[in-house]
Amino acid sequence: MAAKFEIKSATNGKFYFNLVAANGQIILSSQMYETKASAEIGIDSVKTNGTNDEQFERRKSTNGEPYFVLKAQNGLEIGKSQMYQSTDGLENGINSVKSNAATAEIVDTTSA
């Protein structure tokens, strides 16, 4: 199985996507979008910005767990990662986005 973007619909009628690695783990989760078309534009933004290390912001949660945020060129947040147990895990997650996002297929799991 290859990496893929899964477009989903939320219970509030909005849309979001996850970048899922070949092993089934979610690498990156997007913000909520009003329309499916906007979520698709967000995926294009991940494909464009996800190969540039400067677009990744490394952060720590209030519990001290590392995670990352991917930002677009305009500084807006495109998506963020899960919480990691270590900085090495965080860097592996970033590298996974870099190596998978550009070629990941898009799977629409919505009914709209």
* pTM value > 0.95: no
- Residue 96 has a CB neighbour count (10 Å cut-off) of 20
Helix, strand, or coil here: 79?
strand
Which tens digits make up the pLDDT trace of 11-34? 999 999 999 999 999 999 999 999
Please list the helix, strand and coil fractions of the chain in percent, rounded to the nearest 5, in that order: 30, 35, 35
Residue 105, CA distances (Å) to 5, 21, 60, 76 in order: 6, 11, 30, 23
Which tens digits make up the pLDDT trace of 68-92? 999 999 999 999 999 999 999 999 9
The full set of domain ranges for the chain reads 4-104
Task: Write down the architecture of domain 4-104 according to CATH.
Answer: Roll (2.30)
Q: How confident is the model at residue 98 (pLDDT cuts 50, 70, 90)?
A: very high
Which tens digits make up the pLDDT trace of 55-70? 999 999 999 999 999 9
Q: Which residue in the block uniquely carries the two structure tokens 């930002």? A: 71
> Using CB atoms within 10 A of its CB, is residue 98 exposed (0-12), middle (13-18) or buried (19+)?
middle
pLDDT(37) > 80: yes
